[in-house]
């Protein structure tokens, strides 16, 4: 049950009449019915009379009156009034609220209805490049994708998760090259995954070094040129008298400054890559001995793709080891995939896809490469390189075809870093050309994880932070807090507590941010018991369990045989209304795939609950029925928190 939705449906036919049955206009008007900002004005507020008045040339108040005359809200609303120029304030009927609460109480789904337009979704998330250590960015993709999949399925869609592993790309060429030239056999035998990631990092460093050496002069010249332009402009600015000219120059200067910053950053990166090697005598020797390492790595990759026996055998040896290593992280995060069809899965289909696109006239050769030229894009999408190699894009096209043909997907969500936005824009444009234009293809992009210093989250040595270490630290800190909260906690309980709170907090910190923004990784904030954190909600849940133990009432029999709810105080009614907004929150999440809207809802619920807890005793009530009514509110609160957190992939504890 979604009260907001029910209200909208009551208004729909009347508003449609006003806008000559224009569906999108009707929807836009209905979107102006919202939860009231201030409870004094009721539970919901409708502001559509203003724009409708403008359109029809009537006063908004008159519009509001006419709409209300035609709209029968009896039964659902207790009072409906028009305020100010034409705001409509809607207050839900107490009996209606109580009826809805009872049905939520009796329902394991808390009266969340299944959607009527169920769709087949594929959610592509996590998707790390195998052989390359997973980093903090992969947590974002993993927890956001996992939460969306859970929510979609809960509301009645059919969502399948797919871990589109990068198990076929250049990074494999890197470890193949590393294995052949730099391996430490003893280390490989005793700690294979450790050795593979050492090899990956080593090869990466050497490639970056040579790349930076080549680019260095170009980057230095570019920066110097920009700086000259900047000083010329400053000179011009000081000589210029005219206001509008000064304004124009200032704008140009600020544009140049931006470009200078970008160029300086690139140069900085290059010098760091060079220093990393030149400040280390061993690395310097290796770099000198492997000047062509970049090309050689590409060659190893190409050989793998062409079926070279040695490389295939090595790949078959490495892959399960790398996958096993990733699995330990997924197990700790409690994330499961329906499929993990990596890039290699599509290898055999790529040639035919390029041929098909060419035959249909969508792709053509340019400088030896096969390209799809697209309106609105500066560069084409390359689907086969000059040397015959296929690309990330080619595989993604094959993946779309596979998902449409085999799963009849109505929507594919790609939970991937925002930096890949251009890739996805092109991919979706090509897919549409190709005829896959009916499904919703959506890049659910997210920002960068930042450290407290305002820079991308990195270790001191400049490496990205490994995932296992991150999870360990979160659990360790959660254990410290648990020990502080209850001395003498048993070891087993402590471990479980640290896992549920530590991992839960880490996930929640990420999920509670608007995914589009960068977010700052901060252990202290994420584990705080106060604020919009998992620990706060888990604490609320445990609080309810504590209360129920104290008043010695088992809430379960009340679920099917409830007492009448009583709203003795305003806060009980407010908590009730908030409880009934769960479905609304879930449906808000799915509008633009933003799990933070569920977090916001749960946080509001937590805050309302703690106010209720402060103001309403369960022990000293005038009557048994009032006590039971409050028990029922507590029970619903705990179950809503538990279900909501579970949809975010986060657990709860009976005691904290």
Regarding 171 and contact with ligand ARG (CB under 6 A), the answer is no
**Closer residue to ligand ARG in complex, CB, 426/581:** 426
Regarding 396 and contact with ligand ARG (CB under 6 A), the answer is yes
Regarding 164 and contact with ligand ARG (CB under 6 A), the answer is yes
With 0-12 / 13-18 / 19 or more C-beta atoms within 10 angstroms meaning exposed / middle / buried, residue 279 is exposed
Taking Cα atoms as reference points, which of 562, 567, 561 lies closest to residue 615? 567
Regarding 124 and contact with ligand ARG (CB under 6 A), the answer is yes
Regarding 127 and contact with ligand ARG (CB under 6 A), the answer is yes
**Closer residue to ligand ARG in complex, CB, 135/628:** 135
Q: For residue 194, what are its two tokens? A: 């450790």
Stretch touching ligand ARG by CB under 6 A, among 53-61, 121-129, 232-240, 259-267: 121-129
Q: Cα(578)–Cα(609) distance, rounded to whole angstroms?
A: 9
**Closer residue to ligand ARG in complex, CB, 128/606:** 128
With 0-12 / 13-18 / 19 or more C-beta atoms within 10 angstroms meaning exposed / middle / buried, residue 168 is buried
Q: Cα(204)–Cα(277) distance, rounded to whole angstroms?
A: 11
Q: What is the closest distance, in whole angstroms, from the C-beta atom of residue 147 to ligand ARG in the complex?
A: 17
**Closer residue to ligand ARG in complex, CB, 413/605:** 413
**Which three-class secondary structure state does DSSP give residue 68?**
helix
**Closer residue to ligand ARG in complex, CB, 426/477:** 426
Residue 21 is classified by DSSP as: T
Regarding 166 and contact with ligand ARG (CB under 6 A), the answer is yes
Q: What is the closest distance, in whole angstroms, from the C-beta atom of residue 632 to ligand ARG in the complex?
A: 45
Total of residues contacting ligand ARG (CB under 6 A)? 10
Integer CA distances (angstroms), 223 to 170, 208, 266, 593, in order: 31, 20, 10, 40
Write out the binding residues for ligand ARG, residues 514-533 only, by CB under 6 A.
none
- Are 650 and 534 in contact by the 8 Å Cβ rule? The answer is yes
Regarding 146 and contact with ligand ARG (CB under 6 A), the answer is no
Q: What is the closest distance, in whole angstroms, from the C-beta atom of residue 402 to ligand ARG in the complex?
A: 11
Regarding 140 and contact with ligand ARG (CB under 6 A), the answer is no
**Closer residue to ligand ARG in complex, CB, 195/396:** 396
Q: What is the closest distance, in whole angstroms, from the C-beta atom of residue 94 to ligand ARG in the complex?
A: 50
Q: Cα(214)–Cα(433) distance, rounded to whole angstroms?
A: 39
- Are 122 and 160 in contact by the 8 Å Cβ rule? The answer is yes
Burial of 381-397, coded b for 16+ CB within 10 Å and e otherwise, reads bbbbeeeebbbebbbbb
Q: What is the closest distance, in whole angstroms, from the C-beta atom of residue 136 to ligand ARG in the complex?
A: 13
Place of tokens 């923004």: 517
Q: What is the closest distance, in whole angstroms, from the C-beta atom of residue 239 to ligand ARG in the complex?
A: 49
Close Cβ partners of 470 (under 8 Å, ≥ 6 residues apart)? 136, 139, 506
Stretch touching ligand ARG by CB under 6 A, among 55-63, 120-128, 283-291, 350-358: 120-128
Regarding 128 and contact with ligand ARG (CB under 6 A), the answer is yes
**Closer residue to ligand ARG in complex, CB, 73/298:** 298
**Closer residue to ligand ARG in complex, CB, 52/391:** 391
Regarding 342 and contact with ligand ARG (CB under 6 A), the answer is no
Place of tokens 């991919």: 427
**Closer residue to ligand ARG in complex, CB, 141/632:** 141
**Closer residue to ligand ARG in complex, CB, 343/572:** 343
Q: Please spell the DSSP secondary structure of 181-245, one letter per residue.
A: HH--HHHHHH-HHHHHHHHHHHHHHHHHHHHHHHHHHHHHHHHHHHHHHHHHHHHHHHH---HHH
Integer CA distances (angstroms), 502 to 469, 496, 535, 540, 604, in order: 13, 10, 9, 16, 22
**Closer residue to ligand ARG in complex, CB, 127/142:** 127
Q: What is the closest distance, in whole angstroms, from the C-beta atom of residue 393 to ligand ARG in the complex?
A: 9
Q: What is the closest distance, in whole angstroms, from the C-beta atom of residue 395 to ligand ARG in the complex?
A: 8
Place of tokens 């008043």: 551
Q: Cα(445)–Cα(424) distance, rounded to whole angstroms?
A: 10
Q: What is the closest distance, in whole angstroms, from the C-beta atom of residue 414 to ligand ARG in the complex?
A: 5
Regarding 135 and contact with ligand ARG (CB under 6 A), the answer is no
**Closer residue to ligand ARG in complex, CB, 124/635:** 124
Q: What is the closest distance, in whole angstroms, from the C-beta atom of residue 14 to ligand ARG in the complex?
A: 45
**Closer residue to ligand ARG in complex, CB, 129/505:** 129
Q: What is the closest distance, in whole angstroms, from the C-beta atom of residue 427 to ligand ARG in the complex?
A: 8
**Closer residue to ligand ARG in complex, CB, 414/508:** 414
With 0-12 / 13-18 / 19 or more C-beta atoms within 10 angstroms meaning exposed / middle / buried, residue 125 is buried
Give the rounded distance of the alpha carbon of 482 from its chain centre. Answer: 29
Q: Cα(134)–Cα(143) distance, rounded to whole angstroms?
A: 14
Regarding 163 and contact with ligand ARG (CB under 6 A), the answer is no
Regarding 198 and contact with ligand ARG (CB under 6 A), the answer is no
Among 47, 129, 344, 394, binds ligand ARG (CB under 6 A): 129
Taking Cα atoms as reference points, which of 4, 139, 196 lies closest to residue 417? 139
Q: What is the closest distance, in whole angstroms, from the C-beta atom of residue 349 to ligand ARG in the complex?
A: 15
Integer CA distances (angstroms), 310 to 179, 187, 292, 316, in order: 12, 21, 21, 10
Q: What is the closest distance, in whole angstroms, from the C-beta atom of residue 126 to ligand ARG in the complex?
A: 9
- SS3 sequence of 276-334: HHHCCHHHHHHHHHCCCHHHHHHHHHHHHHHCCHHHHHHHHHHHHHHHHHHHHHHHHHC
Q: What is the closest distance, in whole angstroms, from the C-beta atom of residue 163 to ligand ARG in the complex?
A: 9
Stretch touching ligand ARG by CB under 6 A, among 126-134, 180-188, 260-268, 492-500: 126-134
Stretch touching ligand ARG by CB under 6 A, among 127-135, 193-201, 287-295, 510-518: 127-135
Regarding 413 and contact with ligand ARG (CB under 6 A), the answer is no
**Which three-class secondary structure state does DSSP give residue 270?**
helix
Distance between start and end Cα atoms, the chain = 32
Residue 349 is classified by DSSP as: G
Q: What is the closest distance, in whole angstroms, from the C-beta atom of residue 100 to ligand ARG in the complex?
A: 41
Taking Cα atoms as reference points, which of 162, 164, 142, 11 lies closest to residue 88? 11
Regarding 443 and contact with ligand ARG (CB under 6 A), the answer is no
Regarding 414 and contact with ligand ARG (CB under 6 A), the answer is yes
Q: What is the closest distance, in whole angstroms, from the C-beta atom of residue 312 to ligand ARG in the complex?
A: 21
For 227: left if phi > 0, alpha if psi spans -120 to 50, otherwise beta; the answer is: alpha
Q: What is the closest distance, in whole angstroms, from the C-beta atom of residue 442 to ligand ARG in the complex?
A: 12
Regarding 416 and contact with ligand ARG (CB under 6 A), the answer is yes
Stretch touching ligand ARG by CB under 6 A, among 25-33, 81-89, 124-132, 377-385: 124-132
Chain residues binding ligand ARG by CB under 6 A are 124, 127-129, 164, 166, 396, 399, 414, 416
């Amino acid at each position: 049950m979604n009260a907001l939705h029910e209200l909208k449906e009551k208004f729909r036919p009347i508003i449609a009449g006003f806008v000559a049955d224009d569906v999108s206009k009707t929807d836009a008007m209905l979107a102006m019915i919202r939860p009231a900002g201030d409870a004094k004005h009721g539970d919901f507020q409708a502001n559509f009379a203003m724009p409708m008045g403008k359109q029809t040339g009537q006063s908004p108040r008159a519009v509001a009156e006419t709409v209300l005359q035609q709209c029968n809200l009896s039964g659902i609303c207790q009072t409906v009034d028009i305020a100010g120029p034409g705001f409509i304030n809607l207050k839900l009927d107490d009996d209606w609220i109580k009826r809805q609460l009872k049905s939520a109480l009796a329902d394991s789904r808390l009266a969340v209805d299944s959607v009527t337009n169920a769709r087949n979704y594929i959610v592509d998330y996590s998707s790390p490049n195998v052989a390359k250590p997973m980093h903090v960015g992969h947590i974002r993709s993993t927890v956001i994708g996992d939460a969306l999949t859970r929510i979609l399925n809960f509301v009645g869609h059919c969502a399948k998760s797919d871990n589109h592993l990068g198990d076929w790309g250049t990074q494999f060429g890197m470890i193949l090259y590393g294995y052949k030239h730099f391996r430490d056999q003893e280390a490989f035998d005793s700690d294979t995954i450790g050795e593979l990631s050492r090899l990956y990092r080593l090869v990466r460093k050497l490639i970056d070094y040579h790349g930076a050496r080549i680019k260095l002069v170009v980057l230095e010249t570019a920066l110097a040129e920009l700086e000259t332009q900047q000083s010329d402009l400053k000179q011009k600015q000081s000589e210029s008298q005219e206001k509008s000219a000064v304004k124009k120059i200032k704008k140009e200067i600020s544009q140049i400054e931006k470009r200078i910053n970008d160029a300086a950053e690139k140069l900085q990166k290059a010098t760091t890559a060079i220093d990393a090697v030149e400040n280390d005598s061993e690395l310097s020797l290796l770099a000198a001995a492997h000047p062509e390492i970049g090309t050689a790595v590409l060659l190893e990759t190409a050989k793998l793709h062409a079926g070279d026996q040695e490389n295939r055998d090595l790949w078959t040896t490495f892959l399960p080891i790398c996958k096993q290593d990733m699995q330990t992280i997924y197990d700790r995060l409690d994330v499961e995939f329906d499929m993990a069809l990596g890039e290699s899965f599509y290898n055999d289909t790529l040639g035919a896809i390029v041929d098909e696109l060419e035959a249909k006239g969508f792709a053509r050769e340019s400088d030896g490469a096969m390209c799809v030229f697209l309106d609105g894009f500066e560069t084409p999408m390359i689907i086969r390189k000059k040397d015959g190699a296929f690309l990330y894009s080619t595989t993604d096209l094959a993946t779309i075809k596979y998902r449409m043909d085999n799963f009849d997907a109505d929507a594919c969500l790609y939970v991937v870093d925002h930096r890949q936005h251009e890739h996805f824009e092109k991919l979706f444009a090509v897919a549409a050309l190709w005829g896959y234009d009916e499904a919703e293809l959506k890049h659910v992009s997210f920002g960068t994880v930042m450290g407290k210093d305002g820079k991308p989250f990195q270790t001191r040595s400049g490496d990205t932070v490994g995932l296992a270490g991150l999870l360990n630290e979160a659990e360790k800190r959660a254990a410290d807090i648990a020990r502080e909260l209850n001395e003498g906690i048993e070891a087993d309980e402590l471990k479980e507590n640290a896992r549920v709170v530590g991992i839960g907090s880490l996930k929640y910190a990420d999920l509670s941010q608007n995914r589009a923004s960068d977010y700052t990784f901060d252990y202290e904030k994420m584990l705080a018991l106060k604020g919009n954190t998992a620990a706060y909600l888990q604490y609320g849940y445990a609080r309810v369990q504590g209360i129920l133990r104290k008043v010695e009432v088992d809430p379960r029999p009340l679920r099917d045989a409830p007492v009448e709810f009583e709203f003795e105080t305003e806060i009980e009614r407010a908590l009730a209304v908030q409880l009934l907004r769960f479905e609304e929150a879930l449906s808000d999440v799915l509008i633009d795939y933003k799990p933070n809207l569920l977090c916001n809802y749960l946080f509001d619920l937590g805050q309302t609950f703690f106010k209720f807890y402060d103001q309403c005793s369960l022990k000293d009530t005038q009557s048994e029925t009032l006590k039971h009514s409050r028990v029922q509110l507590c029970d619903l609160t705990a179950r809503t928190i538990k279900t909501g957190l579970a949809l975010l992939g986060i657990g709860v504890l009976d005691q904290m």
